[in-house]
Amino acid sequence: FRYRKERYPSGSRKPNPSIHPSHTALTIELFDIRADERILRGSCCGRALVGRFTLDANSELKVTLNPAPQGSVAEINLEATNTSGSLILHWGALRPDRGEWLLPSRKPDGTTVYKNRALRTPFIKSGDNSTLKIEIDDPAVQAIEFLIFDEARNNWSVLFGLPILPCFLECRRYQITTLYFGQEEYEAARTELIEELNKGVSLEKLRAKLTKTPEATDSNAPGSESTVTTKVPEELVQVQAYIRWEKAGKPNYAPEKQLVEFEEARKELQSELDKGTSVEQLRNKILKGNIETKVSKQLKDKKYFSVERIQRKKRDIVQLLKKHKPTVMEAQVETPKQPTVLDLFTKSLQEQDNCEVLSRKLFKFGDKEILEKPKFTWQQTIWSHLYFTGRCQKRMESGRQCGPVLMGCFVTVKAPPSSILPSGSSLLDKACETSFSEYELNGLHCQDTGDAGKGTAKALLERIADLEEDAQRSLMHRFNIAADLVDQARDNGLLGIIGIFVWIRFMATRQLIWNKNYNVKPREISKAQDRFTDDLENMYRTYPQYQEILRMIMSAVGRGGEGDVGQRIRDEILVIQRNNDCKGGMMEEWHQKLHNNTSPDDVVICQALLDYIKSDFDIGVYWDTLKKDGITKERLLSYDRPIHSEPNFRSEQKDGLLRDLGNYMRSLKMEGTLIQSLRMAVHSGADLESAIATCMGYKSEGEGFMVGVQINPVKGLPSGFPKLLEFVLDHVEDKSAEPLLEGLLEARAELHPLLLGSPERMKDLIFLDIALDSTFRTAVERSYEELNNVEPEKIMYFISLVLENLALSTDDNEDILYCLKGWNQALEMAKQKNNQWALYAKAFLDRTRLALASKGEQYYNLMQPSAEYLGSLLNIDQWAVNIFTEEIIRGGSAATLSALLNRIDPVLRNVAQLGSWQVISPVEVSGYIVVVDELLAVQNKSYDKPTILVAKSVKGEEEIPDGVVGVITPDMPDVLSHVSVRARNCKVLFATCFDPNTLSELQGHDGKVFSFKPTSADITYREIPESELQSGSLNAEAGQAVPSVSLVKKKFLGKYAISAEEFSEEMVGAKSRNVAYLKGKVPSWVGVPTSVAIPFGTFEKVLSDEINKEVAQTIQMLKGKLAQDDFSALGEIRKTVLNLTAPTQLIKELKEKMLGSGMPWPGDEGDQRWEQAWMAIKKVWASKWNERAYFSTRKVKLDHDYLSMAVLVQEIVNADYAFVIHTTNPSSGDSSEIYAEVVKGLGETLVGAYPGRAMSFVCKKNDLDSPKVLGFPSKPIGLFIKRSIIFRSDSNGEDLEGYAGAGLYDRLVKVHHNFCSSLKNLFGITTKLTACFSVPMDEEDEVILDYTTDPLITDQGFQKSILSSIARAGHAIEELYGSPQDVEGAVKEGKLYVVQTRPQMGKAREDYYQVLGVTVNSTPQEIKEAYRKLQKRHHILILLATRVMHDYTLLLNEAYKVLMRN
């Protein structure tokens, strides 16, 4: 109707798009205004009454028409009766050739033009009536359309259509008309309607007003009695509508639904009034708390049914940074206080095993004795008990020789798990059997079992197991015991804190008994709990590196009581019974139970009663709530004072019970005996409410003897914090979680600085933060359905919120914060429609997943050993032990974050056009599918039939096992990692599958034969019969071993060190020679580091020196073990090599060559610096016996002794960035395209086994100024170093065909990322393999990378400049060598350096030996003859100049050129 003020389209005609750019459709029913049939068929020449139409109850409109003869003027007269003097005709004319209103040139006086769309003509007042005459002189006009507007009342009539042609006198009929109008008009109309409703207009009146239909009214016919109905005040309707909306979870209502809600609220209240409730009673019932304030705020802001949002403060994310890394420390244990007769044995045992005996127990065993001795070392303890289940170890001692002894471990339930059995144990039926090993100590003959419990605070766990029986008496006993153990746990360091957590967690999940019918007063439980949590609070202040684990313990324990709150629990239940007349029955039984012993079950019982009452006394709801938290009828009956009855309340008790039990719930929370379960947060925010009340202050509302408990607010809280917490409580059950999540995060961010300090009542603030965190996770999980059909920006925003919440709960959160910054930047890019936003977000998705995986691995390595060992001691169900760490992870923010990442991953891959596969080595293969956990675990295995491995984990440094033709993995090793290059060299299919469903499908086909056909971006696969595999039609190339190779043993040629000018094939490997060749030949803007070398044979010369005679003998002995396939000898040889002493001549010559080449001499900085350099040299030599290198030589049947190791010595380029270039794209084989990867810092993170992906790009060789980014970096770690020297391995294996490009010794290997990186991440221990392939003299600094401030990512101009320069350098080096090259280099302050190059191998480089039909041992003459023979054979075809033959000619030339140069 608002739209009619401007223009109304007639009939079914469409509006003009240029006039109405934004359309919203609305269907409106109009009146049938058909005129009297006699008039419609009357004379065309006389004056005709077209019709009478009702405008309102007292007014009507008369319309008459004087039809115009040909060429005359048509006259239309309108008369409105009983009207005001402010009527206006809003009108226009219709022509058959126009879709819009025509504005006639002949207009009545006073007519104005409205927005060039309609005419507005005022009626002339005449007495009580208003009249208007319109004349139409345009013969093309067929009709007019008009509306009547009463300005005084702001009232519009319906639309009229009046034909004016002589032969068709009838009013148009408008039954259903579709209106099109702008969104702005639509919103304005909605606002007007809602304002009318707010003024008290009923929906019926509003409808009647708009449609001009009479309202339904009570009958006033004669003889009937008039009834007076009390109307609901409009302010109460507004409140009731708000209450309905709040109960529904504050959803986002559509405008139509909002109108319906107002009307439903009115009906509900009217129904109450009709039942006899007075308006005042109604008002008192619904106007509670601050409900009026909330409603009035919405009315004031004109935001109806909308959730308010808090304004988050702008903070630098780095303010949330915490770098507290937990470390393992050696425990301090008291020595035995009471010596026994076995002092001699004890002392000898301590001296031999470097341990301390904590306690001893003697048991008679025939004429012998069994001595139980718990002892402590850094990694292990020994513990036993005769009646335990066999998860124990015993020492048997006597003064004479013992015969063979077996320890039989008899279990009434089941045998212990094999994972914790001592070595040599045998599992029996419900038992195990372990043999004692025999040995002699200081004349005493003894037998000893193995040990268990490695990686735990074993002595502490055994102490806990000793005390568990006492702890089961009641929660008071348990908490007091826990408090007594805090000091011992602290002295055991991180593993001690973990031990306490595991124990408390077992209790919280009901794996341990809470109470053995022991009567204890609630205040005593509360006092014990307070004591324990006070100790935890003190440790939280003093040891920030343990805060994350301490939070976990506190969340499982609860806060503890306040003064007399414990006694209040027993007393207040009496008040509830008295006030609500509910004595006897279930309530009395519960009171007796509470009087005897308050337990965590009471919180659940109270919540069940509240849910039962809210459901209008549905007893099924009562039992459902109990069962959700593990309370059954049997459990209720098992109490010392059992609960037999079900609740049975009356309807009139409802309000009072809800009020009083709600207050009682708060008291139970304050009493603190709740062991919080993962479900507790869903109970209407009860835990959160209790935590907030404790911090903000609380005063009870007791009666009679209940004087109430008062808790003062915590001092020093931020300004505005109470309002923020009030906002959180108001929205804790909203369906739309986003405003609540923002409020929760803002509250946690405000608390963060306080928790880093040492405020008063730290414990209360910690529990508040825990409650906010728990509520946040619950809200996110509740919002999953809301996120089903939203834009990706919404999911990205939720991811950023969850990351921030995770960062606030994590001790070492730097990587998480940089992930958060990345997601925020990606979100801004998406909003700005940046075409790379999805690719950028995908990189941070990958990095976030790496962070979560690292966190999960950290938890598992920290907690699972303690869970398994303590679980074995306490006889915990094995399933509960197995999933212990998994459940911890699932209960945290990491699990919710992972779920969100899984939602957006396919979206990002689709937008960025990444597909579900990344094909690293595209080879068509077929074979038997074999599913393995780790490629590392099977790298040395040989498969006797074509095998396609589906490996859950691939790190990047593994070998491809013999017989493997394909590797499929969800991991993302770099395209240029060792395993990637090796796969391409050996023509093995290697691909990453990002689709978990596809991966799961393949894993389900374990053992079946499949064929895989890859492209550069996708893979198709199908199951095939074995006969097709055996036919040999497939795998023609796949899995082929590299050509057979042989090595010539190198000799020492009399020089310990040589300069770059002396590099030759007899002295050094290809790596060193290539670096020397580059010097002076690359463009001037490309630098090459200065180099010297320790040549072939030097290691053997040093080893044969008299000063290293013992080392040589040891190595020879270990080689013998290795020859017998004792591969443990490899590690022993590496360690032995490190004992070599440097001959004086070596030191002298190396110093001369380094100084002569302009390199610094380490010894000038002191003897210690030279020792560092010498150790690095020895580590390079020792790498000859690295597992990967050793098994590589075995695989190709090389004599490992013939491998000779030179050492390339270079100055380290302290790189801003490092890169690797393949001058032919290795994935597609496109020789016109350069592929490169770039990392921040040193290149070891790129070529080594560091997690994450490098930045990757391609560049066409004919357009080197236009690099195209394929992927942004996700590597979290960058390596940086001061000016130093690096020592690189350079063996004669560098020249082997099939090894160039990956090399036997061409990678720096950091800590094994399955174990050593875990040590570093978890405990701060930095460990390197004793055999590294490239060893810097100084330790690199590991830096967590922030890509949001990296100009290579954020500055498009800088990015283009650097990437183009890298591509140009690669192209120049390829031109220099005349063949595809694998180039490594660095960028420092914008200048490029190339540190090495070698021929590129793999899919992109043809096997040149096969092209020419020669072997790797062919002489230059043989190669030349083969080349000429092929040229002659195909001479005729070449002359035809076909495209295929042209390419073949180029290939022959390239093969000949490369092989002749080599």
Note the pLDDT of residue 1159. 92
Mean pLDDT is lowest, of 840-849, 949-958, 1078-1087, 1417-1426, for 1417-1426
* Residues in CB range of 171: below 8 A, 6 or more apart: 33, 34, 35, 50, 51, 63, 160, 161, 162, 163
DSSP state for residue 913 in the 8-state scheme: T
How far is it, in rounded angstroms, from Cα 1240 to Cα 1248?
Answer: 14
DSSP state for residue 28 in the 8-state scheme: E
Note the pLDDT of residue 646. 93
Res. 335 pLDDT band, cuts 50 70 90: very low
* Residues in CB range of 773: below 8 A, 6 or more apart: 748, 805, 808, 809, 893
- DSSP sequence for 553-616: HHHHH-----TTHHHHHHHHHHHHHHHTT--SHHHHHHHHHHHH---THHHHHHHHHHHHHHTT
Instruction: Output 318 or 360, whichever has higher pLDDT.
Output: 318
Helix (H/G/I), strand (E/B), else coil: 619: helix
pLDDT at 408 over 80: no
Res. 962 pLDDT band, cuts 50 70 90: confident
Tokens of 1427: 């080349």
Note the pLDDT of residue 1320. 34
pLDDT at 406 over 70: no
Res. 343 pLDDT band, cuts 50 70 90: low
Tell me what percent of the residues of the chain surpass a pLDDT of 70.
Answer: 71
pLDDT at 300 over 70: no
Instruction: Output 434 or 1434, whichever has higher pLDDT.
Output: 434
Note the pLDDT of residue 469. 92
CB 47 within 8 A of CB 111: no
Using the Cα atoms of residue 678, residue 683, residue 689 and residue 694 in order, give the sign of their dihedral.
negative
How far is it, in rounded angstroms, from Cα 1011 to Cα 1007?
Answer: 13
CB 1287 within 8 A of CB 1177: yes
Phi, psi of 499 (to 5 degrees): -60, -45
* Residues in CB range of 1020: below 8 A, 6 or more apart: 1012, 1013
Q: Which residue(s) pair with 125 in the sheet?
A: 130
Instruction: Output 682 or 694, whichever has higher pLDDT.
Output: 694
How far is it, in rounded angstroms, from Cα 777 to Cα 1389?
Answer: 45
> What is the crossing angle of helices 494-508 and 475-491, to 10°?
160
Tokens of 32: 């049938």
Mean pLDDT is lowest, of 147-151, 285-289, 464-468, 887-891, for 285-289
pLDDT at 402 over 50: no
pLDDT at 709 over 60: no
Parallel/antiparallel/unpaired status of strands 375-376 and 381-382: antiparallel
pLDDT at 782 over 90: no
Mean pLDDT is lowest, of 335-344, 611-620, 950-959, 1363-1372, for 335-344
**How many CB atoms neighbour CB 772 within 10 A?**
23
Note the pLDDT of residue 1181. 93
pLDDT at 146 over 90: no
Active site residue 1446: no
- State if pTM tops 0.85: no
Mean pLDDT is lowest, of 198-207, 777-786, 1010-1019, for 198-207
How far is it, in rounded angstroms, from Cα 203 to Cα 196?
Answer: 9
**pLDDT of 66-113, one tens digit each?**
776 656 788 888 888 887 778 888 888 888 777 678 888 888 988 988
Note the pLDDT of residue 1319. 31
Residue 807 Cα to chain centre, angstroms: 12
How far is it, in rounded angstroms, from Cα 420 to Cα 451?
Answer: 9
Note the pLDDT of residue 277. 82
Instruction: Output 527 or 429, whichever has higher pLDDT.
Output: 527
Question: Any alpha helices (H) in 133-172, and if so which ranges?
Answer: none
How far is it, in rounded angstroms, from Cα 366 to Cα 628?
Answer: 53
Instruction: Output 1350 or 114, whichever has higher pLDDT.
Output: 1350
Res. 1096 pLDDT band, cuts 50 70 90: very high
Residue type, 677: S
Tokens of 707: 């004087």
Res. 890 pLDDT band, cuts 50 70 90: confident
* Residues in CB range of 1440: below 8 A, 6 or more apart: none
CB 300 within 8 A of CB 195: no
Note the pLDDT of residue 853. 81
Q: Which residue(s) pair with 1392 in the sheet?
A: 1086, 1387
Note the pLDDT of residue 1005. 93
Phi, psi of 545 (to 5 degrees): -70, -10
* Residues in CB range of 1213: below 8 A, 6 or more apart: 1087, 1089, 1386, 1388, 1393, 1395
Using the Cα atoms of residue 434, residue 439, residue 445 and residue 451 in order, give the sign of their dihedral.
negative
Cα 906 to Cα 467, 896, 1050, distances in angstroms: 52, 17, 54
* Rounded mean pLDDT, 634-656: 88
* Rounded mean pLDDT, 643-665: 88
**How many CB atoms neighbour CB 1419 within 10 A?**
9
**pLDDT of 1103-1127, one tens digit each?**
999 999 999 999 999 999 988 888 8
CB 1067 within 8 A of CB 1095: yes
Note the pLDDT of residue 486. 95
| The one catalytic residue among 591, 978, 1222, 1371 | 978
Note the pLDDT of residue 47. 52
Per-residue exposure over 1366-1397, b if at least 16 CB sit within 10 Å of its own CB, e if not: bbbbbbbbbeebebbbbbbbbbeeeebbbbbb
Which stretch, 175-184, 546-555, 916-925, has highest mean pLDDT? 546-555
Considering only CA atoms, give the Rg of the chain.
43
CB 769 within 8 A of CB 884: no
**pLDDT of 149-164, one tens digit each?**
877 766 766 555 555 5
pLDDT at 1051 over 80: yes
Res. 5 pLDDT band, cuts 50 70 90: very low
Res. 1385 pLDDT band, cuts 50 70 90: very high
**How many CB atoms neighbour CB 378 within 10 A?**
10
* Residues in CB range of 231: below 8 A, 6 or more apart: 270
* Rounded mean pLDDT, 514-525: 75
Res. 381 pLDDT band, cuts 50 70 90: very low
Note the pLDDT of residue 194. 74
Q: Tell me the average pLDDT of the chain.
A: 76
* Rounded mean pLDDT, 1404-1421: 68
CB 95 within 8 A of CB 141: yes
CB 817 within 8 A of CB 800: no
pLDDT at 634 over 70: yes
Note the pLDDT of residue 1179. 93
How far is it, in rounded angstroms, from Cα 18 to Cα 181?
Answer: 12
CB 714 within 8 A of CB 725: no
